[in-house]
Structures are given as C-alpha cells and as structure tokens.
Structure 1
Amino acid sequence: MTTTYTFWNNKGGTGKTSLCFQSMAFYADQNPDKRVLAIDVCPQANLSELLFGGLTGSGSEVLLARQNEPTRRTIGGYFELRVPTPWSTPAIDPDLYMSHPADYNSAIPDNLDLIAGDPILELQANAVSTLANTQLAGTPTWLRVIDWIQDLVDTLEGRYDTIFIDANPSFSMYTQIALSAADRLVLPVMADDSSRRAIQNAFSLIYGLKLPSEIYTQYAFATKLKAEGRGLPKVHVIAKNRLTQYVVAASGYSAVLKTIDADVKALLTSNPGMFTAHKAKDVMVEIRDFQTAGVVAFARGCPFYEQKPGRMDIMGKRVGVKREYLDNCIQSVQSLVDEL
C-alpha cells in the first residue's frame, strides 16, 4: 500500500522544501528496499533543482532540459495532457513525466524517482481553476479536476511504497489537487506569531475550521470533498523549524512555541480525527536551524548524511561547515524521518 506525504504550509519561508528534500533523501537511503517517488507541485521547482544537483551541480540546467523535452517531463507536462479533456481520464503513461535524479546527482539514493516541478503551473492555474468550476449537468467537474494527481498515482498501481509531495505555499487549485492526493500532511512552522496564525489558516483552508462566516462553508475544500464521500489528509507532523539555542531561551519565542503547543493540543481534543496521533508530543517535532551546513548542502543538492565537514568552495567562495552543526542537522532531520 502506498503512503503519500504532502509537505505544505500556506505561509512561505517555513523551510518546507528543504525539509521535504532532506527527509525524503534520508527515508529513501534508510529504506533501500522501498521505491520512493517525489512529486514537485510548486512552480518554483526548488525541490527538483536540489534533486538534480543544486546550484553547483547544474540542477537548474537539468530541470530546464526536462521542461524542454517534446513532452515536458514535469508535473506541468502531465497537466498539459489533462487540460484538453479535464473531466475524463485519458490514457496516462507516467513514465513520460518521470526522471531519475541519481542519473544527475550521485548523492541521491537510486530508489528515488521524481516528477519535476514546472513554472508553467502558474500559467495553467487560471485554466485549471476555470475547468474545475465549470457547471456541467451530471458531471462532478470540481472532483474530476481535483483528482488529477490521484489519477496519476492510481496509474502507478502500487509501483511506489512512499510518495512525497512538495506543495506550493498557496491554496491555488494545483495545491488543492496535491493536498487531495495526500494521506498525511507534514506542516512546517516557525517560532513566530505568523506561524501560529498559519496553523489556524491551514486548518481553516483544509478542514473548514473556524471560517469567518457560514457563507464560505459551502465552498470550503473540506465541504466539497466530504460531499463526494472523500476523506481529507491527516496531520501527521507539525515541524517547529529553524530553532536555535537562542530561540529556546528567548522568552518571546518560547512563549510563541508554548502557544503553538497549546493550540495543537486543543485541536487534538476537539478534532482528533484530523490527526494520525492522539497526543501533541507525537505530532510535534523540533528542527534545529541548519545554519551554514544547510546553505552548503542545498547549494550542492546534498543530503546531510552525504555532506562532509570542513571548508569547501561554493561558487567561488570558501565556506566552512562545522562537524557539530552538521551533526545537529542530521539529528534534526532524523527526528522527522523517524515519524514517517
């Protein structure tokens, strides 16, 4: 049985893509007998660039070449297949959209495949939204469009054990398509008030909680999925990201973190079915700030377990990575991977 994790937060800058990249690489490396698929549903396609080799490994050039194939070897290429006949499922050959990152980046495990991101998603967004909201008698048009990624996953027929989806920090139609295909949600947050609000916003957008008015209820993502007898992804991990020893000690940040914990406990009590766990301590994971080790690893498209300490050249600049910082990064990512 395939399990699908989607990394998402409606707020940008929470480290969503970096956590997705590191955790999927760790997971694939530690489970060599499992097949892992990454689906990059973000027009920035940063996850794809990392998997293809990062800044120093020509990841951007590799991605551009995938986008310029006769059939775009990307999620945008797959959406191009769906737009002409949006409410019926055509014959899908998933291999047309697949890449094997290890062919370009030796640091990536061989058992990890990728459907790359694509900036064309932004151009497609209006068309996809219009198609989803078209009224057609006897045809659930919104559901047919919202199932596009799930249709692709179904075509794989269990070929992959675990799927990781990196979703855009928005709630556009392509983000909703990604979320509806997820079994489990990983929600990265920061130690600030805006991240606290982001948790509240996430639960409003996905689960329809505390909407500002009943007017919005009938249009809510949760309402529309439930009306079709469909389930919602469950919150599996809330990753408190980029913590430092100073954040823990600072009274302001500490107060925010405690408030986030309290909010999650309250949600678990009032809506336990929205989570995979029963206690807040089993949902929350603390991730230390990656600091310079993160900058180097992401410039190289390198999982932390493959990163070496010491000084190295990054685009003409000498950058040092301390063993202590690198070990902290590995331990932090491992704490997340242990929950998957």
Structure 2
Amino acid sequence: MKVLGFWNNKGGTGKTSLAFQGICTFAAQHSDARILVVDVCPQANLSELMLGGQENQGGVNLLTLHGEAGRRSIGGYFQTRLPKPFDTSGLSPNGFISIPHHYNAAVPSNIRLLAGDPLLELQANAVSTLANTQIPGTDSWAKVVCWLRDFLEACSDHFDYCFVDMNPSFSMYTQIALAACDRLVLPVTADDSSRRGIQNAMSLIYGLKLPSDVYAQHNFHSRMTAAGLPSPKVHMVAKNRLTQYINTAKSYAAVLSGIAFDLDAMVKDNPDYFTFSAVSEGTYEIKDFQTAGVVAFARGTPFVSMHSGSLSVAGQRVKVDREQLDQNRDIVVEFASRFW
C-alpha cells in the first residue's frame, strides 16, 4: 500500500480542502484502485466533507459514526490500543472503516474512510505517556508511533493507496500519522508564516537546525532511525490560494521566491529527505478556487462531480460559473496526477 500524507506545522494553508479535492479526483481517475482515507485530526474536517459537508449533514453523519458500537473512527481504534499499546494480536481494522459514498454520493465509491475524532485530543496525554514509558528491552515510543502503521499493515491486502490528513500540531497522534507515511504534501500560502512553517516542518520531522544536540538526539527522525523505521519524504510543496486571477499575484512573488530559495538549500544539503532533486519538480502552484471552492466545501462536493449553475448554500442560491469550475477541475487533476 502506498501512503501519502498532507501536513504542515502551520494552519490556514487550505490543506484539508486540497486533500479533499485531490483525493476525490485521484479516486475518480483510478476507479479500480482501492483507496483508504485516514483523518488523524480532532477537528475531523476532511471526514465531514467526505460525509456530506455542512449542507448535506456531514457533521450529523460523522456523529453517527462516533456513536456506533466500538466508535467507527480513529479515536475508536486508539481506544482499543490504549489498554494494550504494544500488542497487535487480534487487530481488526474493518470495524473502524466506513464508506463515505453511502452518505455522500458525490464522493467516489472506491474510497473508504477511517474518520477523524475529537476524542484524539482527550487521548493525546495518555498516548504520549505510553510512548515515553521506560520499559527495559522495549522501545515504547517506537511501539506507539507504529499504531497507524499496524492498522495499515493489517488491512494492506484490501487497499492500494492510503491518504492521511493531519492537523498542524506535532502531538503524538500527529507523529503516529507521519510515521505511517511514505510521502508528504506540504501546502503553503504566500506569506512569511508559511515560509517559517516549511522551516519548522523540516526541523520537526528531520531535526534540521535544532538549537542543540540534546534536541537532535530526541527528534522524530532520530527516533525513527534508531527504531529502524523510514521517515516520510517530502514529495510536493503545494503553493495554494495564490491569486484569483490568471497569473500569480506580483505581491506574492518575494515570499514564493523565498520559499523556493529555502527549499533549494534543503534539497541540496539533504537530498534523502525529498523525492525530487529540483525544486521545480517538487512544487505546484494552485490558484484560489473562489466561489466554486466555497460551494464545494459547504456541500461536500468535489470538483470532479460538481455541476455549474445555481446551487444551495446556507439557504441561499449561489451561482457556480462553468468556466471557473472547469479551471479548478483542471488544476486539481494536474495536482492529483503528481501524487505518484
């Protein structure tokens, strides 16, 4: 199973909407592929989109999954691991996986979902405590950080691709998600905080430019290496929401060039952390989705199955321009084609 994650240490980069559009487009283009989506985020925004969005009871449907016996979500799975954190015997993933198409016909039928859950925040302290428990002869951190890897291994015969959405934190549940990924998409927007976000992400994942060797010995990458586990590689930096016009806004040029400059230095100094050798190969510019994007988010409808015209949003009719929708669809098709 190939596993690609969406993450950035900075919020507000449009990560979840990009993930939703990209995953659904990829699934529609590869209708024979078996696809699992894992939402490792307490807000569970991607799950709500997959299950119908605000307009089509996505939140209600998500609560229904949380209310099922055993809790059909990532939180339900973690709950079963807490009493026996180092034991994988008897692991049965099927009971935690749902079929979004049964709730939202706009989502391709070949997608399955391990839904997000606010329970993750309540579980975070307990999970972190378990990971740092000192047990002679046992690498507790490595055992816990493999929880999602264990889950994917148990259902690997049933899926070809897995996509993982993560929130901007670097809590233990985010590290569990990162540890399961082969590749990462890092969305950024054209501002200085996004530039710092890329620098922070590289520091958190790979230990680059940490203030002292004390931190370096305990960073994510060092612990993964010590446990014999591969760290994920940065596969794409998605420059998101650049402009509502045809060309990238000039006011963003300096920030974007700064991000490219930083990336170029990182790739040259640490080529093993990337799947690309030139920044131009690993970056993709995505224009603002405008009205069509707002409607897609509200209705839980990906561009690949959206129709232009007048659509209902929050009790009002909103017009989706056909040309705008076609442009957005083309952008996302190209974006999804770069996943593998």
When the two structures are superposed, what TM-score results if normalisation uses the length of structure 2?
0.97
Q: Give the structure 2 partner of residue 34 of structure 1.
A: 33
Aligned-residue CA RMSD (Å): 1.3
Match of 1:336 in 2: 335
Question: Which of 322-331 and 100-109 deviates more?
Answer: 322-331
> 3-state DSSP class of the match of 1:20?
helix
Q: What's 2:44 paired with?
A: 45
String of CA shifts for 1:274-315, please: whole Å, max 9, x gaps: 111111111001111011101101111111021111222212
Q: Distance in 2 between matches of 1:56 and 1:128?
A: 35
**Residue aligned with 2:241, SS:** strand
Counterpart contact for 1:82–1:90, Cα < 8 Å? no
CA distance in 2, matches of 1:63, 1:246: 36
Letter in 2 for 1:289: D
User: Within 5 Å, which residues of 2 pair with 1:79-98?
Assistant: 79-98=78-97
* Letter matched to residue 318 of structure 1: R
After TM superposition, the structure 1 = structure 2 runs for residues 178-327 of structure 1, keeping only pairs within 5 Å, are 178-244=177-243, 250-327=249-326
- Give the Cα separation in 2 of the matches to 1:4 and 1:132: 23
- Range 161-170 or range 329-338, more displaced: 329-338
Q: Could you tell me how far apart the structure 1 residues matched to 2:248 and 2:104 are?
A: 39
Structure 1 partner of 2:132: 133
* Alpha-carbon contact 2:72-2:96 (below 8 Å) kept: yes
Change (3 A) 1:180 1:249: closer
- Where does structure 1 differ by over 6 angstroms across 4 or more consecutive aligned residues? none
Q: Percent identity?
A: 54
Aligned residues of 2:36 and 2:161 also touching (Cα < 8 A): yes
Amino acid at match of 1:216: Y
Distance of 1:37 and 1:187 partners within structure 2? 20
Q: CA deviation at 1:251?
A: 4.2
Deviates more, 1:120-129 or 1:218-227: 218-227
Would you say the 8 A contact 2:38–2:115 is kept in 1? yes
SS in 2 for 1:73: coil
Letter in 2 for 1:257: L
Distance 2:44 2:287 in 1: 24
| Inter-partner Cα distance in structure 2 for 1:17 and 1:322 | 23
Task: Determine if contact 2:207/2:216 at 8 Å carries over to the other structure.
Answer: yes
Corresponding letter in the other structure for 1:314: V
Whether the 8 Å contact between 1:98 and 1:113 is mirrored in structure 2 is: yes
> Alpha-carbon deviation of 1:212?
2.0
Instruction: Give the CA deviation at 1:246.
Output: 6.0
1:277 partner letter: F
- Confirm or deny: 8 A CA contact 2:72 2:98 kept in the other structure: yes
Deviations 1:222-270 (A, max 9, x none): 1111111211101111000001156956544111111111111111111
Question: Does 2:155 match 1:156?
Answer: yes
Distance 1:211 1:332 in 2: 36
Aligned 8 A contact 2:22 2:333 in 1: yes
Counterpart Cα distance in 2 of 1:255 and 1:25 = 33
How many Å separate the matches in 2 of 1:140 and 1:38?
Answer: 28
Deviations 1:128-187 (A, max 9, x none): 000000101111100000000000001013311110000111100000000000000000
Matched, 1:105 2:107: no
How far residue 220 of structure 1 moved from its aligned partner, in angstroms, is: 0.4
How many residues in Structure 1 have an aligned counterpart in Structure 2?
A: 339
Partner of 1:3: 2
The TM-score, its normalising length taken from structure 1, stands at 0.97
Amino acid aligned to 1:111: N
Q: Distance in 1 between matches of 2:222 and 2:316?
A: 52
Residue 121 of structure 1: aligned partner: 120
Distance (Å, rounded) in 2 between the aligned partners of 1:247 and 1:209: 36
Letter of the aligned partner of 1:60 in structure 2? G
In 1, Cα distance between equivalents of 2:135 and 2:213? 26
What runs of 5+ residues in structure 2 fail to find an aligned partner?
none
Alignment check: 8 A CA contact 2:243 2:249 kept: no
d(CA) in 2 for partners of 1:223, 1:242: 34
Shift of the alpha carbon at 1:215?
A: 2.1
Contact residue 247 and residue 254 of structure 1 kept, 8 A: no
